[in-house]
Structure 1
C-alpha cells in the first residue's frame, strides 16, 4: 500500500515525463524544442520542463483495431455509433501528453516552458448501461534505470471519464474549489452526450456536453466550453490564475484515440466571476495521444482493479451522495494537513489486503473522510 502512495506522489508532482525530455543539467543550447513552439525564443526558455524518467521499450499496434473497424460499418444508428466510439477508448495504451502556451493576452507576456509527460495505462469499461458508460484509467508503469534494468510494474489508479446520453444536468467547476449543478434544457439535449471527468480520488474535475460527429472514417466529439481546476502540472508551478476555460475534442483513430485541448488560463476575483482587469492571461494547446499497444502485460493492473474494485465502487457511491444532495459544494483537496488522494489510497490499500470486504464499514469510513474535505454551500 505504501508503495502505491509513494508512486502516486511521484506521479502527481509531475516527475514522470517523456523519455526524451531534457534533464535540468542538460546543455540547453542543444535541448530539443517543440517542433511547434516559439522559434525566436532562446533554447533555454523553451526547454521542455519535467523529469527524465524513461520507460521500457514498447511495441505499438499497427493494424486497425476491431473497435475502429466496427465504427466503419454502414447502417448503424447514430446512438449505437456514438456508443461504439466511446467504448473504442477502452484498451491498453502508451499515452503522451503535450502542452504549449501559444498566445499571450497581457502586457509583458512571456510564454511558459512546454510540458511533456507519458504513461502506459489500461482503460477499463467499469459500467455500461446503454445510455451511460464509465471508463476507468489504470496506469501500469515500468521504468529503465541507468544500468538498463527494467523495474517491476507499478500500478496506479488514474482518472475516470463518465459518459451520459441526453443528461438533465451536469456538475461544473465554478472556481475557488466550488462545484455547482448546471441544469440543461431538455429540448437542446437531443443526441447529446455529457463527459464528466474525475480525479484519481474520484473527486469531480470538470464536465461538458457535446455531440459525436461521424463523417466517413472520422468519429469525433467536441465539448462545450467548460471550466476546470488547474491540473497539477500547472498548480505546482503557477499561482497567478484560478481556472482553465476551454474545450476538449476526442477523436477515434485506427490504432487508438486523441484528446485535443484548447484552454484559456483565466484569473478570477470570486467563484464564477472573472477578474475585473485583464482576466485572460494566455491560451494553451494540448494533445494526449493514446496509442494502442500490441504486446504489453497489464496483469498487474488487472489484479489491482480486481482487488480494489468494490472499494472504488463505494467511493463513487459516496461521492454521488454529495453530488446529488445540493446545488453547490466546495471541495478542498487537503484537510487536516493531508491530501485526499493520499488518504483514500490508504483505504484502498487496506481494502485490497483485507480477507473479506465490509462494504458498510467501508462506506462509513469514506463518508467520514470526505466530510473533512467537502463543505455544503448555502
Structure 2
C-alpha cells in the first residue's frame, strides 16, 4: 500500500500538557463509532496462560514431561482466540527489567525541549512523538512513543537514542540483546509445537531480521472512557514481546469477541504473535506473551486484536519489542503446508508494515486486505 500523497497536520496540543492541566480530550482524540466495541476500563481478566520459557532452552535440565506440558500450553495459547501468553523463566534479570522501566520514566519526565531533541521526522518511524497522521478521519491515540531500531546494528539511528539518562543506550542495548535471545528460543519452541524443523522461523526471518523497540507513555486522562491509549489493532510483526508497567494495567485483548484485561505480572514478558507469523503458518490446522503468528502461519496460530486504555490517575509505561523480517523480503505461507484441504488464505506481500500501519490508523483489519 503506497503512502498517501499528502498528510494532514499533526495535532497542535500535546497529551502531556493536556494531562498536566487536567483538560478534557479534544475531538480529534475522541473515539466515536467503532466496530471493535466500547471502551471499558475493567472488563474481566483474560484466560492468558503463564509459560515457563526456561524448559525450551538448550541448557535446560527439565524432564520430557515438563517440556511437553509447556509446549502444550504454548500451542493452546497461540491457537486460541486470545493468542497471547505471559512468559516467565526467560532469563532476563529482574534488575534489568526494572532498569529499562526506570530509564523510560526518566526520559519521559524530561522537559519537552529535551525530549524534542529526539523527535521523529515527518513520515519517519524512529524517534519520539505521537503517531504519524495518515488520514483526515484518523482518531489520535492518547500517548507518546519513543521508537528505536535496535537490530540490525547498522540500522540504528544513534542520534535518536537519548543521552539523558546517561545510561539509556547501555541499558537498551543490554535489554535488546537479551530479548533477541528470548526470541530465538521462542521461535524454536513454536516450530517444535507445530512439529516443524526447529529453525523454520529463524530461517524465514534471516540474519537481518528487524527489531524495533518502542517505549510507550500513556499520561493520565480526565476522560479515559472517551479515548484509546492505542487503538484496536493486530501487530505487524512476526512476534511481539512486551514488558508491561510494573503496576498499572491497560492492555486488553479480544477473546471470542469480548475484551479481556491482561493482568500485570511484574517480571513476566507478554508474548503475542503478529500478522506476519499468522500468514506464514496459516495452512496448519492448530493455533507468546503478545502477538506473533498471523502472516507466516497461514492462520493456524493467531495474531490477537488488542488495545490499550488509559486511566485518570497514573502514568502507564510499557516497552514493546517487535521482531519482523526485512521489509524487502517477500512473506507468505509455507508452501508445503498448502494443499486442497488447506488452501492458501493470504497472498505473498512485501513491506507489510506499511499496509498494517495505514489500516490500523483507519480502523481496518490489515490481514483482511491481503487475503487471496
Q: TM-score range by the shorter chain?
A: under 0.3
Q: Which protein, 1 or 2, shows the higher relative CO under an 8 Å CA cutoff with sep ≥ 6?
A: 2
**Greater strand percent: which structure?**
1
Q: TM-score of the superposition, structure 1-length normalised?
A: 0.25
Greater Rg by CA: 1
**Greater helix percent: which structure?**
2
